[in-house]
Amino acid sequence: MKPNNYTFDKSGVLSSLKIHFFPKPKSGQTIGNAKATFERLSQHNPAGFMPLGAYSYSQSVFLAAWIGRYCSIAGNVTVMGQSHPTDWVTSSTLPYKPRRRSRLGITGPARQLSFEDAPRPVTIGHDVWIGQNVLLKGGINIGNGAVVASGAVVTKDVAPYTIVGGNPAKKIKDRLPPKIAQGLAELEWWQYDYTSLQNLDFSSPEGFLSSFPSARDLTVLPDLRRDVFDHIAAAEAG
């Protein structure tokens, strides 16, 4: 069984694989969440690996199932903790936590109730920007091209190419005109190696769409997500 921690060293093996950290960890430092699968060309917080796609970075470590490419995630982004029942008589855990009752010295027969309270991971699409100090409800999906403003408390899915903010987070505006957003979504430009795209004008969505090369002139970047140990093993195997 693989460990869930990785010990960083100064051999440079991860840098050679284009797996980076910010800030740079010290030699011997323990990096958590080592079972997370991610692409190379990604930058992680030394507190733990995140399931990042290529060209993405995260300054935070939180519960996530999958994160796309070209994502920018600022510091202190977190996912809400355990859930509690809000439509029961009580939101207390006592009715469905027998161990807690036992610790409190509560004995005798009790109705067997169950409630799924474990935090659920979030899923984040491609080209998403999440600002600082954002709190996400477990299990939500943030669509491609979305922006979450700093300090937002996000309790629902975020639609693609929308900007949301506030507590609770609400739509502020479309990030791009719907026709442009649809064109970018259909193009799925993030599937290509950035070297195939770097001469395009990213500052002009309209120009980007109109001048986008044909697929035969582009290099697809395969989505090879592995944990850190498998990335190293694959490189050693050649």
What DSSP designation does 97 have?
Answer: -
* 20, 84, 126, 231: the active-site residue: 84
CA distance 70 to 191: 10
Peptide bond into 109 cis (omega under 30): no
Strands (E), the chain: 5-7, 19-21, 30-32, 42-44, 57-58, 64-67, 72-73, 78-79, 122-124, 129-130, 135-136, 141-142, 147-148, 153-154, 162-165, 170-174
How many residues are listed for the chain in this entry?
A: 238
Q: 84 an active-site residue?
A: yes
Contact 193, 220 (CB under 8 A): yes
Catalytic positions, written as ranges: 84
